[in-house]
Amino acid sequence: MKNNLIPIPIIGVPVVNGVHWVDRLIKSIDYPVDNLLIINNNGKGEIDSQLDDLKKIDNEFIKKLHIIHFPSNLGVASSWNLIIKLYLMKPYWVICSHDVAFTPGLLEEIAIATLDKEVAMVHPHKGQFNLGSYDLFVITEKGVRDVGLFDENLYPAYAEDSDFIMRLNNIQPKMIKGLKNIHLHGDEIAKADDEHYKKNGMQTKKENEELAWLLNQSNEINGEYLAKKWGNGWRTVQPHWNPFCNAEYPQSYITWDLDFVRKKYLGF
């Protein structure tokens, strides 16, 4: 074990399509990981066998590879929350997109960063406007206690990070943004600009045009929800202090509205 550090307890990866990216991710792991959890959100059985084949990859750094096949798509926020809940006794959780790959030394650097128990979040890439990138991030015990879980009303994807950014902005916990080592997002080194994201991000959309249309529609609805929760200033990270302007709601306040989520159902 490198530097006698404790292994990373859990890396969680939701996926809908594009199994070749997950294959690359697994092979890029170069530091001890106790649990690698792949959440199959395809819901149609289209990638079940491909994902199961990944168990044949022999990576000495991975102690256990878990693949969960769900009958329908949980959405990103629910998947992220599930990663935390399934391993609730762990001190931190590494969560990443399926189209990410680790470069040598990055996972070790992440493990070192989490030794500081006052840190709530670790963002290996500082992201646009120094807000942290959510293609790969770490949330710690302190982060869950102080900031909370992810808002599952923001089903299915691409808005859950915006809500979390509002809470982080208000609370201002200790965060680490920008590590020395890099990671790949898509085909290139992760960068903090729109052009890079358009080219290398949103791989799930690019695999399926119909799904891309549905996700764009849901994004509009989720934008309206964020405006109700944090005010119109959410787009410039100038949110209300209290969610929904209700002084009784803590920053960590989340709920789940059946009808609102059904409105955005992807059909699988």
Instruction: Write out the two tokens for 253.
Output: 């306040």
Instruction: For domain 2-262, give the CATH number.
Output: 3.90.550.10
Instruction: Write out the two tokens for 83.
Output: 């990663």
- Residue 31: name the closest of 113, 141, 109 by CA: 109
Residue 198: the pLDDT is 57
Per-residue pLDDT for the chain (268 aa), expressed as one digit of tens each?
455 679 999 999 999 999 999 999 999 999 999 999 999 999 999 999 999 999 999 999 999 999 999 999 999 999 999 999 999 999 999 999 999 999 999 999 999 999 999 999 999 999 999 999 999 999 999 999 999 999 999 999 999 999 999 999 999 999 999 999 999 999 888 876 656 555 656 667 667 788 888 889 999 999 999 999 999 999 999 999 999 999 999 999 999 999 999 999 999 9
Write the CA distances from 132 to 29, 98, 160, integer angstroms. Answer: 22, 18, 13
Q: Sheet with 100-102: list strands edge to edge.
A: 100-102, 183-185, 188-189
Dist CA 247 CA 225 (whole Å): 18
Residue 1: the pLDDT is 46
- Extents of the domains making up the chain: 2-262
Dist CA 22 CA 12 (whole Å): 11
Residue 196: the pLDDT is 56
| Helices 160-171 and 76-86, axial angle in degrees (round to 10) | 60
Dist CA 158 CA 261 (whole Å): 14
Residue 263: the pLDDT is 95
